[in-house]
Amino acid sequence: MTRHFLALHDFNEIELYGMLALARDLKEKQKQGIPHRLLDGKTVALIFEKSSTRTRVSFEVGIFQLGGHGLFMPSTTSQMGRGEPIRDTARCMARYCDGIMIRTYGQEIVEEFARFSDVPVINGLTDAFHPCQIMADLLTVIEHKRTWEGLKFAWVGDGNNMANTWIEAAAILGFELSLACPQGFEPDAKVMAWAHSRAPGLISLTTDPKVAVAGADVINTDVWASMGRESEQKEREKIFVGYCVDDALLDLAQADCIVLHCLPAHRGEEISDSVIEGKHSAVWDQAENRLHVQKAIMTSLIIR
Ligand code: CP
Ligand code: NVA
């Protein structure tokens, strides 16, 4: 049966850990210049309905390093952008390609694509989830902290696709996650309910960033207005005052905490310039790890 990577909740702890171990192995090989052409002769299509820098580049470069071909497909220049049904696009593309990554809006779009695709479909970000990103973030935590066991994770800001995915990761992998989101900007209620039933007591929600960050080992934030929500930017800037990860907030965390941001960042809004450029920032390692993790996800799904 074809296995897709649409959301973390489709995977268990052992499977996620296995992908991260493979990512570490592939990273080591790449650093040492050891060939690892695991996708030799394979083509992975990359469909983008939203903008991207890191996801596009890390997938394309990753596929190249694995000996395959990455096919960049902005939806504006394909028939999908003119309204061709998802299911028709999916069935045709699956006959040409060995894997398909999609960045789009609704989670139902990647689910529909996967239903009609005989080859693995990877979620490169939807309004609901960003699972490839959280895998890179987890690898970064392992590298900086050795393990996530016993650590406190904090989320400060919008209850968006990143927050939802962190909640799923916490529930599956079993670490403490404290989220601070303004009222009305909470994470998806269904995701919260699922996580609470799977891992009671691990995930908490507050409106106070200080509560979330107190004693935290890993602090995460993200833009206040995600892609597709740009028209709300000005209004959100007023609502999210006080939700900036700055030096004062960091003083409440563990002295050796790390700060993560999936990027792109808006300095002076959700994160201060001094924090993103400072000694606690792990964001450049985090961005690099997109490459290594994506290679592991593609290899795990396509070569089974
Ligand atoms: N973090 C992330 O997905 O970056 P891009 O939007 O640049 O791909
Ligand atoms: N929450 C952000 C993440 C960007 C990588 C967005 O969806 O725009």
pLDDT in tens, 60-101: 999 999 999 999 999 899 999 999 999 999 999 999 999 999
**Is the CB of 226 within 6 Å of ligand 2?**
yes
Pairing relation of β-strands 121-123 and 99-103? parallel
pLDDT digits (tens, 9 = 90+) for 102-139: 999 999 999 999 999 999 999 999 999 999 999 999 99
Q: What is the CA(32)–ligand 2 centre distance, in A?
A: 32
Ligand 2: nearest atom to the Cα of 160: 1
C-alpha 158 – ligand 2 centre gap (Å): 10
For 139, 158, 207, the CA distances from 236, given in Å and listed in that order, are 31, 9, 15
For Cα atoms 109, 112, 115, give the angle at the middle one, nearest 5 degrees: 150
Q: Which two tokens stand for residue 281?
A: 């920032």
User: Among this protein's residues, is 133 annotated catalytic?
Assistant: yes
Give the pTM. 0.98
**Active-site residue, 262 included:** yes
- Domain segments of the chain as ranges: 8-130+290-302, 133-286
Q: Give percent of the chain above pLDDT 90.
A: 99
Mean pLDDT of 5-22: 98
How high is the pLDDT of residue 83?
95
**CA–CA separation, 259 and 250 (whole Å):** 9
What is the mean predicted confidence (pLDDT) over 217-234?
98
223 CA to centre of ligand 2 in angstroms: 7
Kindly name the residue from 54, 56, 130, 292 that is annotated as catalytic.
130
Confidence check: pLDDT of 186 > 90 = yes
Residue minimizing CA distance to atom 7 of ligand 1: 53
CA distance linking residue 286 with residue 27, whole number of Å: 13
Query: Is 103 a residue of the active site?
Result: yes
Would you list the DSSP string of 112-145? Answer: HHHHT-SS-EEES--SS--HHHHHHHHHHHHHHH
Matching fold, domains 8-130+290-302 and 133-286: yes
Structure token pair of residue 52: 């991207």
Any idea which architecture 8-130+290-302 has in CATH? 3-Layer(aba) Sandwich (3.40)
Alpha-carbon Rg of the chain, whole angstroms? 19
Q: Average the pLDDT over 209-220 and give the result.
A: 98
| 236 catalytic per annotation | no
Q: Which CATH class is domain 133-286?
A: alpha beta
Cross-strand pairs, 302: none
Catalytic residue among 30, 65, 133, 286: 133
